[in-house]
Structure 1
Amino acid sequence: MLFRLWNYLRGYVIIIVEGYFIEKFINICAKRRIQLWDCRIQKQYLATMRMSVKGFRLIRPVARKTGCKVRLLKKTGLPFVFNKYRRRRAFFAGALLFLILINFLASFIWSVEISGNKELEQSVMEEALAENGIRTGVFKYRIDTDRAVTGMMLRLEKLAWISINIKGTKVKVDIRERKNMPEIVPRDIPCDIIARKDGIIRQVIAKEGIEAVAEGDTVKKGQILISGKIPLKGGDDGSRLAHAMGTVKARTWYEAQAPVILDKAERLRTGRYITDNSLVLFSREIDLFKKKNRFQDYSVSRNVKKLSIGEDLVLPVEWITIKYIEEKIVYAYVSKEDAKREAVAQAYDKALEQVPDEADVVERIDRFIEEDGSITASVTLECIEDIGMSKRIGGN
């Protein structure tokens, strides 16, 4: 590999040797230290080989002595490239300016990629990053990623973890969002067990504290289930405070509805479309053709292609293609039974989304509500779950 690179840098030629004494030609060249390589016999009395430019100037006596005919087939290498373009100064000047421009643009950030955010909106993340010095167009060597990470953690309470890495002209931001966990009361602090939601008590197991409810009781959110105030023995009016502990299982319900639609609208593409292209340079969009959308019903697809060298060297040039696709709305009649089945399935999916992971679904109730000529499917899921949560005695 290094040998090939060195030969390309200094330049070499490919020659054709024709005659009866090709082997003698090669031996004499070797004896006179004229370097040959990649010698190949193409057919009888004809061979191709490679040699340096300096060696090519020395082979005329060898060819005359062996009676071989030597022809130049090809010139290869950097010196010949320079020689070919030596009069094209504008070409070299343009190439030099291009390299300088690429190197200059590579010193800035032109793309910020954010991943891992589910509840935090993209715009909120971009605004917070900009406040910490991370945005497109900023000089990348001025970015302090450690300081930006600290600033983001202080700025957004929902962040549990964040990493910021600079690769080429791109900033990659990966985050993990904080989950809303109930307050954990330390073991040495007195507390009650209260209801986090409404329900009907199914089972109460008090490991510490006094049961404040019994099986079959209906409780409201915030009601005390296991009290941390334990009466003193001996009939005294006083009580001691304890850290209530236990499990309170209750029946809970989750309900969702979906309309029964008999006339279903479908959007069908007609095959006609209008394409509009625009160029973005340094965040400034230039509409090249300014095509007007004439369709009344349509969908839009947007394709953005960023100019980049490799994966991470993104440049501030974008080609945007917007496609307006004409559609027509077709109404199709659906049978009442099929419409009901589809509405029940939608309502069930909505209700199931509300059920916590730790809850067990024990019963499902489907019903239909008819009102003012419309039908609504309703699905109720009955669950068994632990509704208890700790609350400090005297706390909020």
Structure 2
Amino acid sequence: MLHWIQYLRGYVTVKVWGYSVERLLNLCGNHDVLVWDIEDHGDYHTMHISIAGFFALKPLLKKTGTRAAVLGKYGLPFFVSKMWRRKLFVAGLFGCILFWCLASRFIWDIRIEGNFALTEDVLLDYLEEQGVHTAMKKSALEIAELEQALREDYDLITWTSVQLRGTTLLIHIKENEMPVYDNRNQAEADKGMDLVAEKEGVVTYIITRSGVPQVACGDSVRKGDVLVSGAVPVYNEDTTVRRYQYVQADADITISYARNLSLEEEIAYDEKCYTGETIEIPVVGTGEKEVAFRIRKVPYDFYDTSEEKKQVQLLDHLYLPVYYGKRTVQEYEIVPKMHTDEEMKTLLQERFRKIISTLNEKGVQIAEKNVTIKKNNKKWVLHAHMQLEESAVKLTPTITPPVEEPEKEEDTQSD
């Protein structure tokens, strides 16, 4: 505590030498001149003394025949005096403090945690539609309304928590682990739903659980044909249709269809060869504006650029709307090359394997395939004829017209 008082009042370190330094110290005690940290260096003494005590020391030096020299000045009065001579520095310091205070009233970072099925891009686009974005005022954010809107607009979200920490908006969500059913299909099921073909082909397998099958194994179908009707007829005694009972059609159906595929690969190609020459350009920006500290133009004819940016972070959750980083420019040369026969086969087969893998992920079965690779003067061509099988069906509202029940005629008896 005493140290802080001394710093606020200010003090100096002096060097004292001469005829009677001991007598000088005694006079300082008699005249209430505070000195401390006295050190004996043989020919001279050093000590700390307050500013007021230093000015009261002059007559005592004459009485004792000693001399004093200032070795250092410390404390707030000397710091303020130095800063006052550096007006630009002081103005910049106050400007930074003012900027900090103003920037802390806005949101400069949005973090989303707990999302798995819903991607961060989807949620950020939703927040933008709701008027929640970076560079918005904290006072304009309605936390309770945002939490409610997230739960109402996304059935997958069961719990939300929105918090403001510094200039960071933290959104914690919890997704429903149970499957979410489509309520629209459930509502339409009361009116009847048909299973229709999404592709043209031949039905190779059909097991109906609900509805009336309209096709059998071996039948050819076109896209849009009804495979299983959701209108179940109720017959009269004379086998005429009295009415229809509407259900949601449900069945396991496999449709077989042919698909031809052609892949091409050029023998000649251009390859990027990096020379190892790079240029690093410092970059500073705020929002969508950016300044690159580039002295001269990029001297390369062909080059790639990559950027690394970081947002200015003062505390754990206190961000400023300022980015800094560097832009790296890498020179490369375009070298014409030719694929070997082995490389051409590998490239085409790899592309074909990726297509097959994608089909398998979608549940498409390959019943038969015939692959040929032909070589031309400038390119190689892979031709593939495949017989595919998949459950290419979808639900649509039933189109069977309802049958009105005939009105019963009442026999009238005449008196």
Shift of 1:262: 2.2
Cα deviations by residue, 1:160-182 (Å, 9 ceiling, x for unpaired): 65876544223356899x99979
CA contact (8 A) 2:267 2:380 kept: no
5+ residue gaps in structure 1?
Answer: 1-5, 13-55, 61-70, 73-79
Q: 1:173 to 1:347 in 2, by over 3 A?
A: farther
* Matching residue within 234, 241, 244 for 2:245: 241
Letter in structure 1 aligned against 2:379: S
Measure, in 2, the Cα distance between the counterparts of 1:338 and 1:254. 26
Measure, in 2, the Cα distance between the counterparts of 1:356 and 1:180. 23
Letter in structure 1 aligned against 2:245: L
Q: 1:296 to 1:86 in 2, by over 3 A?
A: closer
CA contact (8 A) 1:149 1:163 kept: yes
Cα deviations by residue, 1:2-61 (Å, 9 ceiling, x for unpaired): xxxx8997899xxxxxxxxxxxxxxxxxxxxxxxxxxxxxxxxxxxxxxxxxxx97x99x
Stretch deviating more after TM superposition (344-353 or 128-137): 128-137
CA contact (8 A) 1:257 1:347 kept: no
Aligned equivalent of 1:286: 291
Cα deviations by residue, 1:215-259 (Å, 9 ceiling, x for unpaired): 122222221112234452655332533423322123356665432
Q: 1:290 to 1:234 in 2, by over 3 A?
A: farther
5+ residue gaps in structure 2?
Answer: 8-34, 39-45, 48-73, 401-415
CA contact (8 A) 1:192 1:226 kept: yes
Aligned equivalent of 2:218: 216
Measure, in 1, the Cα distance between the counterparts of 2:376 and 2:151. 51
Measure, in 2, the Cα distance between the counterparts of 1:208 and 1:365. 38
Report 1:26-175 matches (<5 A). 85=79, 87-90=81-84, 98-112=96-110, 129-148=127-146, 161=157, 165-171=163-169
Shift of 1:302: 1.5
Shift of 1:270: 0.7
CA contact (8 A) 2:267 2:379 kept: no
CA contact (8 A) 1:170 1:313 kept: yes
In the alignment, structure 1 residue 368 sits paired with structure 2 residue 370:
no
Q: 1:392 to 1:136 in 2, by over 3 A?
A: closer
Measure, in 2, the Cα distance between the counterparts of 1:143 and 1:283. 22
Measure, in 2, the Cα distance between the counterparts of 1:248 and 1:288. 64
Shift of 1:353: 2.3
How many residues matched? 329
Cα deviations by residue, 1:246-286 (Å, 9 ceiling, x for unpaired): 22123356665432332243211112233333322465433
SS in structure 1 at match of 2:185: coil
Measure, in 2, the Cα distance between the counterparts of 1:99 and 1:219. 75
Instruction: Determine which structure has more spread, i.e. the larger CA radius of gyration.
Output: 2
Aligned equivalent of 1:307: 312
Measure, in 2, the Cα distance between the counterparts of 1:381 and 1:9. 87
Measure, in 1, the Cα distance between the counterparts of 2:296 and 2:264. 40
SS in structure 2 at match of 1:260: strand
Measure, in 2, the Cα distance between the counterparts of 1:127 and 1:210. 44
Letter in structure 2 aligned against 1:136: T
Measure, in 2, the Cα distance between the counterparts of 1:293 and 1:205. 67
Report 1:181-192 matches (<5 A). 184-185=185-186, 188-192=190-194
Stretch deviating more after TM superposition (109-118 or 378-387): 109-118
In the alignment, structure 1 residue 276 sits paired with structure 2 residue 281:
yes
Measure, in 2, the Cα distance between the counterparts of 1:118 and 1:335. 44
Alpha carbon RMSD of aligned pairs, Å?
4.8
In the alignment, structure 1 residue 347 sits paired with structure 2 residue 349:
no
CA contact (8 A) 1:185 1:392 kept: no
Cα deviations by residue, 1:348-381 (Å, 9 ceiling, x for unpaired): 3134324554444444443336678533224566
Q: TM-score, normalised by structure 2?
A: 0.61
In the alignment, structure 1 residue 207 sits paired with structure 2 residue 209:
yes
Q: TM-score, normalised by structure 1?
A: 0.64
Shift of 1:388: 3.5
Measure, in 1, the Cα distance between the counterparts of 2:154 and 2:302. 40
Measure, in 2, the Cα distance between the counterparts of 1:234 and 1:357. 47
Report 1:6-45 matches (<5 A). none
Aligned equivalent of 1:16: none
CA contact (8 A) 2:266 2:378 kept: no
